[in-house]
Chains A and B, each alone.
Chain A
């Protein structure tokens, strides 16, 4: 196993990391603005992937159309969850919305299993040769999917840091009461935040679905590494969450030759524990409040 093999693993880990990063970004958004850990994140991804599969089953082969359906379905579900459940739980502390999100996650998975069964689905992609970059074989789909995930992350960052609504979202994350007395329309901020969560999880679901297989538990299985990345990156730091997810993804893949496939997740969490022991606020977290 030479150098090229390890670079290949690192690239694979980076794409895996970006997928986890998207989920971590969605968790981070809800945690910062909505103030609870959202357990439906993984299942929003799953719904997106199934929507893509549904379009494929209808005979439409365009991956872009399937992706569009994935994003649309996740956004619609995310918005519905907010309007019908989480809006009523605003200001009720962290526990009530967290428990509701766990219940909703199970409900969404059950509904998917009821209608789509437990069969595994795959996105039908034409077989292509790996492309050679500096003597290293790279799957072109990995490059595409990594690119899509990266563009999605950059788009969310641009919204958060360059647009007025993003600024308002960060203000609500800092201090809800001050945001309200600053005249910020908090309802609108929540609405946009949940749509953004739907968008991100839809893209993540599609990327994960194309790279692996589509089944009811696919998103749920992704939830723990995503939570780990969100904590590792520093709660409240969206860029940190994505970078931490890359660390988790690359560490997992690079450990495969030594530890084997089964134990790679264990190593990811060992990295998490070690980093948190050294930096309790996470890699990019700040313990800072104006008092």
Chain B
């Protein structure tokens, strides 16, 4: 049984389906990349998993339970973490408050200490408002926040968007460490090549459908896929 399983998903906004016929699965402590061109429906997949898409049908199973009708906050309590593409911290709350505000955390004090140890840069900025952090610090805080409730799966929606190549490399380092913490990752990523390089498996989306799936190494080695979707600079286009 997979940790996360999406079957025959159709989802979108208003009357229009952005994605349809989507089937994606993630095993425990596995890194899976979902890549594709702009407008392919990558973020719609992330929002479907986390429950913030206005309209969706199909099957979304998490840890053996159908969660498609569950509210986002209930999904978090089941072990589903989410790092949104933008606005991924509360700007008026301090770094410490951003961690403390996460729900479903057992032994909050020691968990905050663990996160500060995992992201040392945050410890010295603990009383600073998140809105005043740099892009890299914000991304670290977003990771730390999502890890606070000890999730089984993290859904990361374009975690390197708008970051410099050096900061993006740091983010991929953080993602690479997740399976070691017992956390699986579903990475929605524009920098497809870099993301696939740290992933076990991958899916390529085009016009709302999965056009290729398999081992990350196989996708990277496929010359057609590389030419069509992975670009030369590591980003999809």
Which A residues form the contact surface with B (CB < 8 A)?
A: 164, 167-168, 170-171, 173-175, 177-186, 236, 286, 288-291
Contact = CB atoms under 8 A, between A and B. Distances in A.
B103 A178 contact: no
Contacts of A177: 52, 72, 84, 87
A174 B98 CA distance: 11
A167 B101 contact: yes
Interface stretch (B12-20, B61-69, B89-97): B89-97
Interface string B123-162: 0000000110000001000000100010000000000000
Contacts of A164: 100-101
B92 A288 contact: yes
A290 B101 contact: no
Nearest to A237: B92
Contacts of A173: 92
A168 B77 CA distance: 16
B169 interface: no
Interface in B74-94: 76-77, 82, 84, 86-93
B71 to A, nearest CB: 7
Contacts of A171: 90, 93, 101
A179 B92 CA distance: 13
B71 A180 contact: yes
A173 B91 CA distance: 10
Given A181-B82, A183-B149, A289 B90 contact: no
Contacts of B138: 290
- Closest 3 CB pairs between A and B? A183-B103, A183-B76, A174-B90
B218 interface: no
Contact of B52 (A168, A181, A290): A181
Contacts of A236: 92
B101 A185 contact: no
A184 B92 CA distance: 16
B102 interface: yes
Contacts of A174: 90-93
29 contacts: A164-B101, A167-B93, A170-B97, A171-B93, A174-B92, A175-B90, A178-B84, A178-B89, A180-B72, A180-B73, A181-B51, A181-B52, A181-B72, A181-B73, A181-B76, A181-B82, A182-B73, A182-B103, A182-B145, A183-B76, A184-B73, A184-B101, A286-B131, A288-B92, A288-B131, A290-B87, A290-B88, A290-B89, A290-B91
B104 interface: yes
Contacts of A178: 84, 87-90
B88 A183 contact: no
B30 to A, nearest CB: 21
B44 interface: no
Given A170-B92, A171-B93, A184 B50 contact: no
A179 B101 CA distance: 9
B160 to A, nearest CB: 16
A185 B73 contact: yes
Interface centre among A164, A179, A183, A291 (most CB of B within 10 A): A183
Contacts of B101: 164, 167-168, 171, 182, 184
A87 to B, nearest CB: 15
A148 B50 CA distance: 45
A76 to B, nearest CB: 27
A183 B102 contact: yes
Contact of B100 (A167, A183, A289): A167
